[in-house]
Structure 1
Amino acid sequence: MKYRATRLKVLFLLFSITMGGCDQYTEIDLPNDRLTGEAVFKDPLTAEAALLDIYANMRQRGMIAGDLSGLSILMGSYSDELDYYGVPNSSVDTFYSHSIIASNDLVATMWELAYNQIYAANALVEGLDTTEINEQEEINRIKGEALFIRAFLHFYLVNLFGEIPYVTTTAYTVNSTIGRTGISEVYDNIISDLIKAEELLPVDYKGSFHTRPNKMAARALLARTYLYADKNTEAVRVVTSVINSGLYPPEMNLEKAFLKTSSATIWQLHSGEEQKKTLEAITMIPSATPPDILSLREELVSSFETGDMRKQAWVGSISDGTDIWYYPYKYKNENPSGTADEYSIILRIEELYLIRAEAYAQTGNLQAAVADLNVIRNRAGLQSMQLSDEQSVLNAVIEQWRLEFFSEMGHRWFDLKRWNMAGQILPSIKPGWRETDMLLPIPENEIILNDQLQPQNPGY
């Protein structure tokens, strides 16, 4: 596979990481030429800096960024969460209208940035395998985080594009002609990487506020992967180990659920500089009426039961005196001043309760499924449900996924896709919907550079 950044930089420098991504999150003086290679792995501080730079780049650009390039906006618009008010016929609008073509620049950027970040993670893994650093605990932690990142990014790629290359090397001769891997094999590789990461990572966090993945973060992502791969028994086992650790009690005060101090947060991304606010708040909170970018679909807002405190805490509204628009208000501080009290949350314990509820339901343990479902409902101020048939339990779990994780990194789209519900729900609200929209196109330029990526996904 030939990536533009790879062809221009990596071929000669292994991988040159832009200094602009390091900001104050790194807090380490970095070499001027490169952050991977032999020099990095003679010094734990520069190896650490290379790792932190990957997080900075993930936060600022690409799939999990909170701006218009990230999945929260793009796949929220692609599914039934968001209405789009931005520039007509823009790249974001093509997601909303289901008019994406193979040359879409946001799709190309999503792919390229993900694989560049994977490349940087692979460089760390390879470098630490031959390092002269004699601090084994530190080597294990950094390598574990790099493996976690590699698995994490491939997880999103396979769910967006289907069969993809699973890249585990920095070797240009391999990557420039690599082919696509079957979906089940991709999941097996993700699981393998996460099991290795779990073994290497400590339970204790590096630094404050859970901004670096630990052993439990690896287990959380492993549980999600098991669920998506239809390995429900394994998902239950892994979720139970995290919940029973007692490290992440659900955040009962919903106003505090997205603060950096939330008890439920398993992994979140540092804001970069302490006075910075999250991109989610900056992007999702409208500054005018009608909204200049997006709003929540009214059908979603009306789906909250009477008394559901999530609607009060997480849904904002603006009005021009006649009409009213709703927007995601999980992140509330959009103006940079003082010290940031919100970081972008990637993994939180509520997801694990819903993973286990769904896995229990799929394996016939309906009583246990309802118990986990009611943990989420009770926290939202809702009464416990009494359900006794599998389909009713699954329907209730599906609804809680929707109401708990709206506007968070494409959860809703991935759920519609894996439940085979997209074709039932989207045609009536998306005139451009086609059954082939279940996958995004492989970027056209990538296929031109590497014909082993063919065939293109159907419909493009």
Structure 2
Amino acid sequence: MTRQMNKLTININWKKALGMCLLVSVVGCNDDFLYEQPYSSLSADNTLVSIAGFETYMTGLSWAAREEYSQDDNTFFITNFPGTDVGEDAGAEYFTYRNWISYLTSVTPEVSTNWNWAYSKMLPQANTVIVYANKESNKGIWQNEAQKNAVIGEARFYRAYTHNFLANLYGGVPLVDTIRNVPQFDFERKDRKEVYESAKKDLEFASQWLKPAAQTLPGRISKGAADHLLTEVYISLGQYSDAIASASRVINSGDYQLMKARFGSSKDNPGDVFSDLFRDGNYNRGSGNMESIYVWQFESFTAGGGGTRDGNQGVRNFGPFFVRILDPDGVPNVPTDEMGRGVGRVRGTEFALYDIWDDPNDIRNSEFNMRRDFHFNNPKSKYFGQLVPARTTAEDTLRSMYSYPRKIEGLPWNLNNTSGRTSKDVYVYRLAETYLLRAEAYFRNGDLQKAADDLNALRARANASPISAGDVTLDFILEERARELLFEEPRRRTLIRMGKLVERVRKYGLLESSRNTVQNHNDLWPIPQVAIDANFAKDLVQNPGY
């Protein structure tokens, strides 16, 4: 009995210690609790006392937001693409959504990694800005109320973005809307609708006070970004007329336009306007790109730019492991500045790479935007420059040589084309998606013709044939999103938000094992077990099925 009691005591103490670590990181603490005086010049008490201090902190917050993508080598990519209708595991050793039953559990790594990013980075930092900006002691630093509310509005955008992110993936979650001075162990899940309502309230404030795009630095949040996300939140709440209105504010603002003519760094090179959208240096408005709304900064010497893992890992995760393809004499291919060095972490499904491309004139499927042919690229090979014949072995076709959208390609990070990383920026929102969101809102509101009109705005730019009102369905909208936003949009979150994940995995999943093992309850992620254990003063209810 004594040995059992000791074991129980150890387990309880371990949980308490874990809870202390996790929840202190979530809610923060002050020197009254730790009995220490923070001397760092970067503490909130020392930094958030001037406009310059708030600007420094907001740069850090934009960096933290970008960490959703770059916090480690592949969490973003596993989170959003394998086990969807557009992506699946490529290499044989990758085993995420090949079997949903064994893989997707409350201890799956990305389930807790994304939760921790939201609760230990984004929400504490955003709430710190909001609380300190409203402090009576800081009242004198603001030139006027509009200046203060613009700072608060940007922080509230990030808080809304994070709560919306959590609600998309996990459903109802704890709402964290302030900073706390002591650890908390009794968080409770709010209803998913309540989480969306909180995000809506934050975004409506942000839309009112944020500046237009022309007055916003690259990587920072504009009024258009707030209205774009607000459109998605309104749709999630079933408020379709409001969604149409917020999307229309973006589309009709004059701040943005669909790019229809060649522009930017490669406009005089072979290509088309869609390929121009994804050339190095073309992501921000300074290039002439009037379509970008919110862009994560990876180019060097940009405030908030760079990345924990040294650049944009897109080509590493999405690109095929082409260096493993040998010529007939056994000479391997080599990394190049154009293709970089992929490792075949995620590849497209047959649906995304082939089935959706039913219009031969669609420039989004042109040679400038989809790489379908490969050539031996090692100068030491006597086959140099020749077309690589089709491969038939599973590992080659699944991992080492498959078609992919060329939007992932870019100049190598630090001139190192062996790392699989580029210095390209990353779109979070661009105007094309605003049209897609408004089309969805029109469809759900019963106006199929206006939905078709918005879809045709994108199809006209792509030189694809127009559709009629009778063609518009949620599935068609998802197909158009795949054509326009393949490997851009966080596809899993889109499918979960639209209630289509399980249905479309069963229909379009690349691997039979994935199609056969996905379960109805997988329409939401589980709550991380580590969060449940840490919240020991109150039951943090798990999602059904996990």
Q: Which residue of 1 aligns with 2:352?
A: 300
Q: Which amino acid is 2:293 matched to?
A: I
Q: How does 1:342-361 map to 2 (within 5 A)?
A: 342-361=424-443
Out of 75-84 and 179-188, give the one that drifted further.
75-84
Q: How far did residue 417 of structure 1 move?
A: 2.8
Q: How far did residue 138 of structure 1 move?
A: 3.9
Q: Is contact 1:295–1:328 with CA below 8 Å preserved after alignment? A: no
**Could you list the per-position Cα deviations for residues 302-340 of structure 1 after superposition, in whole angstroms to 9, with x for gaps in the alignment?**
1212222112243334655332402232232151257x8
Q: Which residue of 2 aligns with 1:68?
A: 74
Q: How does 1:306-317 map to 2 (within 5 A)?
A: 306-312=360-366, 313-317=368-372
Q: Which residue of 1 aligns with 2:125?
A: 120
**Could you list the per-position Cα deviations for residues 86-131 of structure 1 after superposition, in whole angstroms to 9, with x for gaps in the alignment?**
4736xxx324542222112221111011112111100110011012
Say which SS state the counterpart of residue 81 (structure 2) adopts.
helix
Q: 2:212 aligns with which of 200, 203, 209?
A: 203
1:245 aligns with 2:330: no
Q: Which amino acid is 2:500 matched to?
A: M
Q: How far did residue 242 of structure 1 move?
A: 1.2
Q: How does 1:304-453 map to 2 (within 5 A)?
A: 304-305=357-358, 306-312=360-366, 313-317=368-372, 319=374, 321-323=389-391, 324-337=401-414, 342-387=424-469, 389=470, 392-411=472-491, 413-427=492-506, 429=509, 430=514, 431-451=516-536, 452=538
Of all paired residues, the percent bearing the same amino acid is 23
Q: Which amino acid is 1:329 matched to?
A: R
Change (3 A) 1:292 1:342: closer
Q: Which residue of 1 aligns with 2:12?
A: none
Cα separation, 2, equivalents of 1:296 and 1:394? 21
Q: Which residue of 1 aligns with 2:64?
A: 57
Change (3 A) 1:34 1:314: farther
Out of 142-151 and 357-366, give the one that drifted further.
357-366
User: What is the TM-score of this pair, normalised by structure 2?
Assistant: 0.73
Q: How far did residue 224 of structure 1 move?
A: 1.2
Say which SS state the counterpart of residue 372 (structure 1) adopts.
helix
Cα separation, 2, equivalents of 1:249 and 1:166? 35
Cα separation, 2, equivalents of 1:32 and 1:82? 48
Change (3 A) 1:274 1:285: farther
User: What is the TM-score of this pair, normalised by structure 1?
Assistant: 0.85
Q: Is contact 2:241–2:441 with CA below 8 Å preserved after alignment? A: yes
Q: Which residue of 2 aligns with 1:278?
A: 312
Q: Is contact 1:297–1:326 with CA below 8 Å preserved after alignment? A: no
**Could you list the per-position Cα deviations for residues 359-406 of structure 1 after superposition, in whole angstroms to 9, with x for gaps in the alignment?**
11222222222111100111111121223x3x7454432321222222
Q: Which residue of 1 aligns with 2:168?
A: 159
Q: How far did residue 79 of structure 1 move?
A: 0.8
Q: Is contact 2:506–2:518 with CA below 8 Å preserved after alignment? A: yes
Q: Is contact 1:249–1:263 with CA below 8 Å preserved after alignment? A: yes
Cα separation, 1, equivalents of 2:20 and 2:62? 20
Q: How far did residue 285 of structure 1 move?
A: 2.7
Tell me which structure has the larger Cα radius of gyration: 2
Q: How far did residue 453 of structure 1 move?
A: 5.1
1:11 aligns with 2:64: no
1:101 aligns with 2:105: yes
Runs of at least 5 residues in structure 2 that lack an aligned partner in the other structure: 1-17, 33-37, 261-272, 326-342, 375-387, 392-400, 416-421
**Could you list the per-position Cα deviations for residues 430-460 of structure 1 after superposition, in whole angstroms to 9, with x for gaps in the alignment?**
1321111111111111100104352211222
Cα separation, 1, equivalents of 2:428 and 2:404? 20
**Could you list the per-position Cα deviations for residues 57-91 of structure 1 after superposition, in whole angstroms to 9, with x for gaps in the alignment?**
222x3368695111x442211212123234736xx
Q: Which residue of 1 aligns with 2:397?
A: none
Q: Which residue of 2 aligns with 1:18?
A: none
Q: Is contact 1:232–1:359 with CA below 8 Å preserved after alignment? A: yes
Q: How far did residue 251 of structure 1 move?
A: 2.0
Change (3 A) 1:8 1:134: closer
Out of 116-125 and 289-298, give the one that drifted further.
289-298
Q: 1:145 aligns with which of 147, 154, 171?
A: 154
* Total equivalences in the alignment: 434
Runs of at least 5 residues in structure 1 that lack an aligned partner in the other structure: 15-30
Q: Is contact 2:292–2:430 with CA below 8 Å preserved after alignment? A: yes
Q: Which amino acid is 2:127 matched to?
A: N
**Could you list the per-position Cα deviations for residues 6-54 of structure 1 after superposition, in whole angstroms to 9, with x for gaps in the alignment?**
536933579xxxxxxxxxxxxxxxx982645322221222221122112
